[in-house]
A and B are shown apart, each in its own frame.
Chain A
Amino acid sequence: MTASLIIFFVLAALAVGGALSLIFQKHPIHSALSLIVVMVALAGLYLLLGAEFVAAVQIIVYGGAIMVLFVFVIMLLNAGIEEHTNFSKLAGFPGLLLAFALTGFIAATIARSTDTVQAAAQPGNMASTKDLSTMIFKDFVYPFELTSFLILVAVLGAIVLAQREKA
């Protein structure tokens, strides 16, 4: 067992633990913190995979911006401990079973898949940030520009929806 494998398992355990914690925490703020744990663990994994830029963006945008927004909203709405209702008959045991079945099936299929997946992930720095930026601004300029509209829409939506009613 190499060091990187150990690191992988540690990070993987962290991520899965965070995800489980997200599920089991009663208070949304705790869930949010659990999610941040997952994200940080994932950033670690990205580093392990040699995707430094993505790792950085993961921390900055996801962990920094998005999750802060979450926490902010939780505070804003003064959300308390989750109310534990069980109105949905389907989302109880059947839901659990089905979700497990699906996950199990996906995971099993991937694990047994003979495609590229089986190849060992290449470590190291095949991706430079420069290449990435070239790709974004050349090959993928159209979606990139579209993304700007997307953000515009998001802003617009936030304004329209969250705006207080005018008197």
Chain B
Amino acid sequence: MPILEHLWIIPLLPLLGATVNGLFGRTWPNKIVNSVAIGATGLSFLAALEAVREFFLLSPEQIPWVRQYFSWIEAGNFRAGFDLQVDQLTVVMLLVVTGVGWLIHIYSTGYMAHEGGYYRFFAYLNLFMFFMLILVMAANYVLLFVGWEGVGLASYLLIGFYFLRKSAADAGKKAFIVNRIGDFGFMLGMFLLFRTFGTLDFFKHAGAGGALGLFDKAAPLSAEAMGHLGTLTVACLLLFMGAAGKSAQIPLYVWLPDAMEGPTPVSALIHAATMVTAGVYVVARSHVLFMHAPTAMLVVAVVGCATALFAATIGLVQTDIKKVLAYSTVSQLGYMFLACGVGAFSAGIFHLMTHAFFKALLFLAAGSVIHAMGGEQDMLHMGGLSKKIKWTYVTMFTGTLAIAGIPPLSGFFSKDSILLSAYQSENGGPNVGHILYAAGLFTALLTSFYMFRLIFLTFFGKERYDEHHVHVHESPKSMLVPLAILAVLSIVGGWLAAPAFWGKPDYFAKFLEPVFAAPGASEAGTAEAVVHALETPLAIVAVITALAGLLAAYWLYVKQPSKPDKLAKFFGGAYQTLLHKYYVDEFYNAAVVRPLMWLSTNVFWKAVDVSIIDGAVNGIAEGITVVGDGTRRTQSGNTRSYAVWVVVGAIVIVAVIFWPHVRPVLGVVR
């Protein structure tokens, strides 16, 4: 089994591509640069496919398939190895990452053809692929963290790709720093886990040489033993903090909308399809721990749900096409966390996958639109594009249908299973699940509305741009082909779960079952029956909701184009709040950034460092100098004074030597 033995080949290929392009690509023509980049990613994709093929030949005992290549860090009883693993979850992620990644690479050759820094772009993109693959293939938290930080770096570089623009550089920096805040939690989570279990290796069952991984140790524990606010709860919450940073959840979501400063393929790949879902992946990967921490699960669910709703509301009023998609991404990530939070990890991963397809599609299509518009991103300056860029329109519309949850497109299935799980959830109280469901459903309505609003504003109605300056043109094949493929995937991607509707197993969930098998798997049978009974009614409700959103958008933006403004005026306060994203950035700025800067500048630096500490140091020096000057002045040059000094000295000596005699005398004086 060559590839499974040499799993490192899969991530290494993109790294090679990145290195070659980064070091030598500067002088090469675009053709060679993109051949290298696409070749590296494509080969990686092929290798992943081969690995998956081989993976299916493994017996269940051999899964997870772990290969330890070399020790990366060793200290005391701590070891972090360069260990890669493959299990079902990895397989899904691997295919999504390499597949979608490859498509986006191809798309980029067209999209970036006229941009400067072509080699740089592809080097970064390949670098991203490398780290993302490390992330999903890592067999321990530390290596996962490598990928985790690495994708953050790639994201930073790519967001700031147009570094001449201050906003782009700012956005990159913001993304990195906000991610770091999450990583702070992630690291502490790792530390706590190591402190509790003495290892950070994953495993579960198939340990090498009888060694136990973290999950093997955690799995037998009962949730009760760990307590509702126990070690694992803390650990999980800390891990979730990291996940929230990477996957843009409340309160750390602020970087993602800004990240749209990067080139559109980057937004598609990193900020929609892959990197931002890493948080979901981590939570799913750590499901063993989360299962033992109901409180943490609840937090995940609530945060996810809240984020979904919150971001969706902001998405309602955005006019920048990429911003809408960005908030939509945040919202959809919230969905995934909601799924994880209610214990439906496979549903979460399922949505992750379908979202990767349709959101990548949407972004790429949006990129195509922007490309066509010559860089224009504001939807208010578009309109009526459906005839001019037909292919883009068709594919984008497909994506919108998928995300809105219109059957039988992929989004419908994944969203449906999430809502179903939420509805059933009883963690934290009997009604919590229903509340979550309701919120999720409302979010679905909003999603449907703002996505169709996007479509209608962009492709329908009057042209609102200056036709003399903007020459709308269809994108090249290299961009359209990936769009088409992704559109197909968006349609069929959900069909793996479709059989659930007619009583057959959900193949996707079944495939992941070995990974997510809960301790109480034996009860699955009865649960499934209940599930099935609920499935159809809930699906119908969901579809109706989606259609309602569609109709509302149609009515507002196609039928009554003047209405939105009136509405906006009518709900002035609310509208402004949404338009300004609830003023969260402003709040962070005022509550955290500025006080910190002020404190650092005026208190720590100027007051403490310069005035107090250095002031004390220089003050001592100054004081000594003053005393020294005083000492010097006793040297008046006058012999008579000198004689008095001698007398003074005589008295000092005599007084010291006769101290026992002198003391009582002085005592009397006192």
Which of A's residues lie within 8 Å of B, judged by CB?
87-91, 94-95, 98-99, 101-102, 105-106, 109
Contact = CB atoms under 8 A, between A and B. Distances in A.
Contacts of A102: 647, 650-651, 654
Contacts of B643: 91, 95
Given A102-B654, A105-B654, A87 B648 contact: no
B644 A91 contact: yes
From B641, B644, B654, residue with most partner A Cβ within 10 Å: B644
B522 interface: no
B645 interface: yes
Given A87-B638, A90-B636, A102-B647, 8 more contacts: A88-B636, A88-B640, A88-B644, A90-B641, A90-B644, A95-B640, A95-B644, A99-B647
Contacts of A105: 651, 654, 658
A94 B644 contact: yes
A101 B654 CA distance: 11
A18 to B, nearest CB: 21
Nearest to B661: A109
A89 B637 CA distance: 12
Contacts of A94: 644
Nearest to B665: A105
21 contacts: A87-B636, A87-B638, A88-B636, A88-B644, A89-B641, A90-B641, A90-B644, A90-B645, A91-B641, A91-B644, A94-B644, A95-B640, A95-B643, A98-B647, A98-B648, A99-B647, A102-B651, A105-B651, A105-B654, A105-B658, A109-B658
A101 to B, nearest CB: 6
A88 B638 contact: yes
Interface string B624-650: 000000000000101011011101101
Contacts of A95: 640, 643-644, 647
A3 to B, nearest CB: 37
A158 B567 CA distance: 117
A91 B648 contact: no
A90 B637 CA distance: 12
From B640, B648, B650, residue with most partner A Cβ within 10 Å: B640
Interface in B351-396: none
Contacts of A98: 644, 647-648, 651
A89 B643 CA distance: 12
Closest A-B pairs by Cβ, 5 of them:
A91-B640, A88-B641, A90-B641, A95-B644, A88-B640
Interface of B: 636, 638, 640-641, 643-645, 647-648, 650-651, 654, 658
Question: Chain B binding site: helix, strand, loop or mixed by DSSP?
Answer: helix
Contacts of B641: 88-91
B637 to A, nearest CB: 9
Contacts of B636: 87-88, 90
A90 B638 CA distance: 10
A91 B651 contact: no
A109 B661 CA distance: 10
A148 B654 CA distance: 35
A105 B641 CA distance: 21
Contacts of B651: 98, 101-102, 105
A88 B634 CA distance: 11
A102 B636 CA distance: 23
B650 A91 contact: no
A23 to B, nearest CB: 13
A24 B651 CA distance: 25
A91 B647 CA distance: 11
B669 to A, nearest CB: 12
A120 B636 CA distance: 47
A106 B644 CA distance: 17
A26 B276 CA distance: 103
A106 B640 CA distance: 21
B542 to A, nearest CB: 101
B643 to A, nearest CB: 7
B353 to A, nearest CB: 95
Nearest to B650: A102
A99 B648 CA distance: 9
A102 B646 CA distance: 11
Nearest to B645: A90
From B636, B647, B654, residue with most partner A Cβ within 10 Å: B647
A108 to B, nearest CB: 10
Contacts of B650: 102
Nearest to A99: B647
A101 B650 CA distance: 10
Contacts of B654: 102, 105-106
B627 to A, nearest CB: 18
A100 to B, nearest CB: 10
A106 B651 CA distance: 10
Contacts of A109: 658
Nearest to A89: B641
Nearest to B662: A105
Contacts of A88: 636, 638, 640-641, 644
A98 B643 CA distance: 11
Contacts of A106: 654
A97 to B, nearest CB: 10
Contacts of B645: 90
Contacts of A91: 638, 640-641, 643-644
Contacts of B647: 95, 98-99, 102
Nearest to B655: A105
A77 to B, nearest CB: 18
A89 B640 CA distance: 9
A54 to B, nearest CB: 27
B664 to A, nearest CB: 14
Contacts of B648: 98
A94 B647 CA distance: 11
B165 to A, nearest CB: 74
A34 B644 CA distance: 24
B658 to A, nearest CB: 8
A102 B658 CA distance: 12
A36 to B, nearest CB: 24
A6 to B, nearest CB: 34
A102 B643 CA distance: 13
A95 B654 CA distance: 17
Nearest to A95: B644
A91 B638 CA distance: 9
